[in-house]
Amino acid sequence: MRLLLVDDHPLFREALASAIALAFPGAELHEADGIRAACDILDRNAGIDLTLLDLTMQGVAGFDGLVTIRTRFPRVPILIVSGLEEPRIMHEALRHGAAGFVPKAVDKATLTRAISEVLGGALFMPPDRGGPPAPARPNSRKPPLAERVARLTPQQMRVLTMIRQGKLNKQIAHELQVGDSTVKAHVSEILRKLEVISRTQIVIETAYLDFDQTGGGF
């Protein structure tokens, strides 16, 4: 397991790394003090399994850092580890592509659970911070992924491909020359047919799928 820790406070990175090393012996940890350094590490290490990202770093406005990493590296899930605890911010982070949110004030057990859940393909929100309970791990009795992808129409396959590329609804609408509402409808159908609950899960579940073998090639 390879994790990337992105925080501009060295002491917190050290504490976080120590907690993770105890919970996941043998985990390979990489550290970055900013978004540019994080992108450099992700460029050089294609096997990073999870990025743990602070929202409030010097030179980073709002969710810009999250969006940058999400767009450039859509296959790598992002778990926010932040001192911000407002439910509104937590939900907004998920809307911008995070796979989970952990306040810095949580205990090690909660952090460990969050990492495990996100690595397992679920979203994580701490229920005692005003968010909904963390979703369960994906149902192992789901039909095979290729079978679920085969349910998609050709246009939905095009939208799926662009989601995997990290494109937003407006970008997809522009490229397909359709309205935003049409793209939203396609995304909703893709979520339903793939039996997932977020764009992040779409990317994670289809990361290594060869569309040509599912009959979805273009």
Question: How far is 52 from 50, CA to CA, in rounded Å?
Answer: 7
Residue 4 has which token pair? 């990337």
Interhelix angle for 199-206 vs 180-194, to 10°? Answer: 60
**pLDDT score for 142:** 67
- Sequence-distant (6+) residues with CB within 8 A of 61 are none
Cα 18 to Cα 26, 100, 166, 170: the distances in Å are: 12, 20, 32, 41
List the domains of the chain with CATH numbers: 2-129 (3.40.50.2300), 145-214 (1.10.10.10)
Q: What are phi and psi of 176, to 5 degrees?
A: -90, -5
Cα 165 to Cα 14, 75, 76, 91, 194: the distances in Å are: 33, 9, 12, 22, 17
Q: What order of strands is seen across the sheet that includes strand 78-82?
A: 28-32, 2-6, 50-53, 78-82, 100-103
**Cβ atoms 127, 101 nearer than 8 A:** no
**pLDDT score for 139:** 46
Cα angle 124, 4, 160 (rounded to 5 degrees) comes to 60
Question: How far is 177 from 47, CA to CA, in rounded Å?
Answer: 35
Beta bridge mates, 101: 80
Q: pTM (2 decimals)?
A: 0.60
**Cβ atoms 16, 5 nearer than 8 A:** yes
**pLDDT score for 218:** 35
pLDDT, one tens digit for every residue, the chain (218 residues): 999 999 999 999 999 999 999 999 999 999 999 999 999 999 998 889 999 999 888 777 778 888 888 888 888 899 999 988 888 888 888 888 888 999 988 889 999 999 998 988 888 888 765 444 444 444 445 677 778 888 889 899 999 989 888 888 999 999 999 998 899 999 989 988 888 877 877 877 776 665 544 444 43
Cα angle 1, 208, 156 (rounded to 5 degrees) comes to 135
Question: How far is 129 from 106, CA to CA, in rounded Å?
Answer: 10
**pLDDT score for 130:** 47
Cα 90 to Cα 63, 129, 138, 150, 196: the distances in Å are: 11, 9, 21, 33, 20
